[in-house]
Amino acid sequence: MNTSNRIALVTGATRGIGLETVRQLARAGVHTLLAGRDRARAVEASLDLQAQGLPVEAIALDVDAGASIREAAAEVRRRHGRLDSLVNNAGILIDDAALEPSQQSLETWRATFETNLFAVVEVTRAFLPLLQAAPSARIVNVSSSLASLALHVDPSSPIYGIKLPAYNASKSALNAFTVHLAWELRETAIKVNAIHPGAVKTDMNPGAQMDVVDGARSSVAMALLDDDGPTGTFTHLGEPLPW
């Protein structure tokens, strides 16, 4: 894919996988919008990447605030008039791992779905007209292998005992949204896919082994997918995952 004229936006991009996704997209020549709820942090991160010669600009976007989402979409429209890639990276994991699934609080469920599902729906809806204005746009939803119902019921799977119900279910729902949106846009040039970044060492998962550089690769690959690439898939580093 010719990346020199593409414009991408990555949510939750001031640290971790999101920040690395911005770095890799920019290194590929994509003009990348580094979005974060804290404008000062987004500006600081973008200035650091700009100092490395990368085409990055900051944008304030709090995915949990409708007004912020609308303002960000309007800002992208004013600055660029379109969006070629949207990476819905922002997410939270606030389940208490010491509790059984039935013991997780309703507040945990609601807050998790608000960010991991409803915010993605709202952000995508706000930016969809800008994606439709691009020649061949891409939507990447950052999911997790923990979304897989097939793996959760398989005693031999590596995630069988990892029952973080609010987080897991929110990502299952995100996968369902991915499938439905891909179906809606099936006759267009827009491709919609969900990815599992891997068990990446971040603030959310400090005990993981995968480096953040590798964790961003799946998002970047789908954000730069060729026109003959798939839509409506759930993959990790190009390999399909069970729903």
Residues taking part in catalysis: 167, 171
Q: Is 71 exposed, middle or buried (0-12, 13-18, 19+ CB in 10 A)?
A: middle
Best CA proximity match to 11, nearest among 115, 100, 96, 128: 115
Helix (H) or strand (E) holding 139: strand 138-142
Alpha-carbon span 163 to 90, nearest angstrom: 21
Q: Measured between alpha carbons, how far is 232 from 193 in angstroms, rounded to an integer?
A: 5
Closest of 144, 171, 26 to residue 85, by C-alpha = 26
Residue 30's SS3 state is coil
Q: Which of 127, 138, 125, 143 is nearest to 17 (CA)?
A: 143
Round to whole Å and give the CA distance between 206 and 242: 25
Write the CA distances from 15 to 104, 199, 222, integer angstroms.
27, 16, 20
Distances (CA, A) of 210 to 87, 203, 207: 20, 13, 10
